Structure formats: C-alpha cells, structure tokens
Amino acid sequence: MKYLVRKSIVRVVGKIWMPSIVCAREIEMSDYDLQNATDEDGNITRESLEDWLDCNIGDFYLILDFSASLEVLGNTVEIGWETEEGECAYFDAMILVDG
C-alpha cells in the first residue's frame, strides 16, 4: 500500500533579532495557516503570503526573500524566489546549519 503525503512548505531567508545575522528556515504550513494567508479574493499570492509571514514568523525582524510550494484544495501553488541573491542566501545559510 502506498501513501501520498502533500505538505505546504515555505522557505524563508532573513535576518534574526539577535545577533542580527542572516538565517534560513523552512516552515510547514497547516491548513489553518493557508486559510489565513489568502487575499481578499481567497487566493494565495506572493503578497498575501508575505503579509502572513510578516505577522507569523517572529524569529526574523527582516525577511529578505522566500519561496513556497503550497497545497491548496488539491492544487499546488508555486511561488518562486524573488531574486537569485535571495535563493543563494537561503542555501548558503542552510549549508552553514547542515555543515
């Protein structure tokens, strides 16, 4: 028997409060989180997700960039990195954690 597990993942890179260094974090969003990340039309956009992150990711005082792969009502919503520099900063920070 096979199971298919779909997760909504947001990858964030930004500056943390103390000691104000660049860090990265991967967030698994719940259905409740996804509902709260929608815009007035009920869609998840880069802007609506950024608004949600600003209010719900207390580890960071500044979000530099993010990407997301979200499962919404059986559809996958992909939000890419805004800049190549943001993507590189995320992976650089993750290498420091894993390395």
What is the C-alpha separation between 11 and 94, in angstroms, rounded?
A: 10
The reported pTM is: 0.87
Kindly indicate the confidence band of residue 17, based on its pLDDT and cuts at 50, 70 and 90.
Answer: confident
14: Cα within 13 Å, side-chain hemisphere: 22
pLDDT at 74: 82
Which whole number is the average pLDDT over 32-53? 94
Kindly indicate the confidence band of residue 6, based on its pLDDT and cuts at 50, 70 and 90.
Answer: confident
Average pLDDT in the chain: 91
Per the CB < 8 A criterion, the answer to whether 92 and 21 are in contact is: no
What is the C-alpha separation between 59 and 1, in angstroms, rounded?
A: 40
Supply the Cα-derived Rg of the chain in whole angstroms: 14
Per the CB < 8 A criterion, the answer to whether 63 and 54 are in contact is: yes
Which whole number is the average pLDDT over 25-34? 94
Provide DSSP, 25-47.
Answer: EEEEEPHHHHHHT--TTS---HH
Which whole number is the average pLDDT over 41-64? 92
Which whole number is the average pLDDT over 63-89? 94
